[in-house]
Structures are given as structure tokens and as C-alpha cells.
Amino acid sequence: MIGVICAICAIFAVAAGTAQAEMMTINSNVRALGMGDAFLGLADDSSALFYNPAGLARVSGINLKLFSLRAGASGVEAYDKIKDLNGSDDEAYAEALKQLYGEHVWSGVGGSAAFTMPMLGFSVYNHLDALVQVHNPVYPEIDTSVINDYGYVLGIGLPLAPVFHVGANFKYIKRTGARVPYGASVVADLDSDELYSNVTGWGKGYGVDLGANFVIPAPLFSAVFSGVWKNVGGMSFKSDDPNANIPSEKNDMSLGLALNFDTPLLSIAPAVDFRYLNREDLQLSRKLNFGIEIGVPLLDIRGGFHEGYYTAGLGVNLGLFQVDAATYGVELGAYPGQIEDRRYVLEVTMELGVGGFTATSLFSGAKVEGSKGGADGGSGTGRSKSFFGGRRLKQRR
């Protein structure tokens, strides 16, 4: 029975060991995860709808993301141990469960589509994650936390001045899931229908994100200072079921700095984000994320640190399609360096784009063809976008 239970959790989505300790990355894109999820100042496409709405003021051209599909997993060895429990007798079951102390299994899937143009963006998405952790060797327990978000987000970004942009995202989310701990005796008698009913309560919520960018352009170089307030006032989910306990979203106040050194054949983009400024329960190393992306024709190479653990990533531009892969660590314990969950994710995106105009060029009437300014008012190559793929020849977005 335990095998059935954990298999459902692994397929469904998020279960967290010490679930409250995990800082969710359910809406992070794989490109950002490869560079430490430090992305507030680099988001200048549909990713701005999830990271920093002020980035919509720097969107270039009209872009239609037909789909973006991602999947990830961790803890394959632990999952094999969990499956072996199925069919065990009582004595073997108890002993095998003790051997799982400290193990954790995560899986996640998601998909989205989006439309962006200068100053405006819209996305619809469905994201699921799952992590199961076993702890307490004397009396083993399994903590689960299931979250499945189906949502819409509309964003607006305005250039109040050539170097100062502001933005807001408006979100509607229907969330399914719960965080439920199970003791060993409960797990032994629990059937899959009961587990399913425990984690499939749903509720709906509305939220707002605010963002601002201060952009400093220079030849072959630009810098972006960012301030973002996600989930202004907190985001709770109301349900018709009085017994449902849908996990809420907390305020997240963050600051970021990103640089972009851009030439026709090479781009280098280091970034650092200081997240959760308003949360005193998190240690500094869990709030500080930083990373770098190096772009060459058709290829991006990424690296960084997230919650004190290394990250690495790779992006390949195939014209209409982009493929991004990343590995990153998530802290499941109460303090940094306690329990790392090493995750591996892959994302495939199909996107169309046309035109290279920006909000700045629209207001100023500047010509797009042959221009030397990028979407951020900085260096950029100034190439117009092809209808077949919204990216330049050089992979840097």
C-alpha cells in the first residue's frame, strides 16, 4: 500500500519533507534555475509575468509562446526503495520504512502558453510539483505537500522614463493540494482513495505583483537594478469545502542586480537576487541567489548558487524550439546545508516572434532596423525578429 501512496504523490506533484521549510520554485523557469534563480533584472520576455512585471517594458516585438513544457525529478534511488515496500509483510514493512529515514523523492511537471508585446503580457499555465520525505527513525513519518496550480496572469510594464520602468501583474489561480503528514501506523492502513481525497481539495485566489527597474545603458553594456514585491499582502485561497486547507502564498520582497555585456557573438549576464527581505525566519544564505549566463551562437551555458547549493544549466536554440536543462539544489531542512534535494529539470519551448520594436522605439518613433539599442535601452544587436522564432541568432534572450 505504501508503494501505491507514494507513487501517486510522485506522479501528482509536490510533497515536502519538512514541507514548510521548502521555498517553492513552482513558477521558476528552467533558464533561471540553471543560473541560481537570480532573474529579477533579466526577465524581459514572458518570464516577467512570474519574476518582475517591470520587465514587460523591455519586451521586444510581438511574441507568441505556443507552449512551454517542463518535467523534473529527484531521488530516483529513494523511489526504488519506496516501490519495494509494496507487498511487504508487517515485519519487513516496518524495517524497510526505517531504512527510508532521511530519503526524499520529488517530481514536477508543468506547461504554459503566453503572449507578449512591449508593455503587455498574458499567460495561462498549469504547474504541478511533488516531494515525499521520510523522517524520524524511531517512529517513521511521511510528510506530503501537493500543489497543482492552474492560473492566468496579466501583466503591464510602463517606461515612466528611459531609465525607469514600473509594472504590475494580476493573477488568478485555482490551486489544488494540501500539506499532510502521515505517521507510520496511519500510512499502513491508508488507501489510495483516502490519500487522493486528502490532497485534492481546491480553492481559488487573486494576487498582485509589483515591480520596478532602474536601467543604466552604456555601449556594449547595461545594468538593471530591480525591486519586486510578489503576492502583495499575501495570497490565500478560498474553497467551497470548509475542511480544505489550501497552502497560501506569502509576501516576497526582493532586490536584484543584473548586468548584460552584449556583443554580436558573445553575451555575458551575471545576476544576483536578494529574496524574501521581509522574512526573518530565513537565514541569509537562503535569501541570496546569484548566477551567470554566457551566450554564444545557438548555445547558453549557465551556473550559479541557489540557497547555498550549486546550480548548472544549458540552453540550445533550435529556431522555433528552445531546449533548456538545469540542475539545482533545494533546502528541505530548517537551516542551510541540512537536507539538500538535488533536482534535474528539462524544458522545451516553441515560440514565434515578429518585429524588433520596443516601448522606447514606439514612443520615440525610432527605426528598428539597423538600430544599435537593445530592448533594455542598452547594447543589444538590434536585429529584427523573424516570424520563425522569437530569438536572435545568438541564443541570449
Give me the DSSP letters along 279-330. Answer: -TTS-HHHHEEEEEEEEEBTEEEEEEEETTEEEEEEEEEETTEEEEEEEEEE
Residue by residue, DSSP assigns 64-126 as: EEEEEEEEEEE-HHHHHHHHHTTT--HHHHHHHHHHTTT-EEEEEEEEEEEEEETTEEEEEEE
Hey, what's the cell of 228? 519586486
174: containing domain: 2-364
Residue 57 burial (10 A CB sphere; 0-12, 13-18, 19+):
buried
- Identify whether 386 is part of a domain: no
Q: How many folded domains does the chain comprise?
A: 1
Q: What is the pTM of this model?
A: 0.82
CATH number for the domain that contains residue 30: 2.40.160.40
Whether residue 348 is predicted with pLDDT greater than 90 in this model: the reply is: yes
d(CA 167, CA 158): 6
Confirm whether 351 is domain-assigned: yes
Q: Which of 40-44, 126-130, 143-147, 187-191 has the lowest mean pLDDT?
A: 187-191
**CA 140, CA 175: separation in Å to the nearest integer?**
29
Residue 328 is predicted with a pLDDT of 95
Q: Domain for residue 393, yes or no?
A: no
Above 70 in pLDDT, residue 7?
Answer: no
Domain-embedded: residue 13 = yes
Residue 25: how many CA atoms within 13 Å on its side-chain side?
32
| Residue 243 located in a structural domain | yes
Which one of 79-93, 123-137, 213-227, 357-371 scores highest in mean pLDDT? 213-227
Instruction: Tell me if 176 is assigned to some domain.
Output: yes
For residue 5, give the 3-state DSSP assignment: helix
Is 280 within a domain? yes
- Least confident range from 104-108, 135-139, 185-189: namely 185-189
Residue 11, in any domain of the structure: yes
Q: Are 32 and 204 spatial neighbours (Cβ–Cβ below 8 Å)?
A: no
